Amino acid sequence: MSPPNVKARDFERLLKLLEVLRTHYDKIDRKALILMVECRRAGRHAEAAQVIEVRRGLRDAFETAAERIASELTTPEALRDTRRELEAARRKANGFVRDLESTGATLEKLQKALSVMTATVATITGILT
C-alpha cells in the first residue's frame, strides 16, 4: 500500500522506476556471475576476485538507490520535480545494458557498469538532497 501523501499514479511510477533499476542490476549481475565462473574455471583467480568485488559494489549501489528512492520520493511534488533527472539516469543505464548484452561482459565493462550504477546513485542522492 502506498503512503497516504502519494497519489496512486505517482506511486506506480515510483515502483516502475525501482523495477527498471532492478532489471538493469539483474542483467549486469547475471553477466558478472557468468564471467566470474569462467575466470575461476580458467584459473584466473585474481580476475574472478575482482569480478566478485564489482558484483558486491553493484549490489550495494542498487540497494542504496532503491532505499533512497523509497525513503525520499514520497510526495507528488518530489516525484514531479525529479522525474526528468531520474529518467535521464534510467536511459543512460538502459543504453549501457544494451551495449553490455550485445558485446559481452569483461571485467573492464563490469567495472564501467559499476561506475554507471554509482553515478546513478550519486545523481539520485544529489536530486533528493
Domain ranges of the chain: 8-128
pLDDT at 127: 62
Q: Side-chain half-sphere of 104: how many Cα atoms within 13 Å? A: 3
For the record, the C-alpha cell of 74 comes out as: 514520497
Whole-model pTM?
0.63
pLDDT at 83: 67
pLDDT at 78: 60
For the record, the C-alpha cell of 66 comes out as: 532503491
pLDDT at 115: 80
Residue 77 has pLDDT above 70, yes or no: no
Backbone angles phi, psi at 6, to 5 degrees: -115, 125
Is-contact 92 20, C-beta < 8 A? no
Stretch among 29-33, 44-48, 60-64, 83-87 having the lowest mean pLDDT: 83-87
> How far is Cα 71 from Cα 93, in angstroms, rounded to an integer?
22
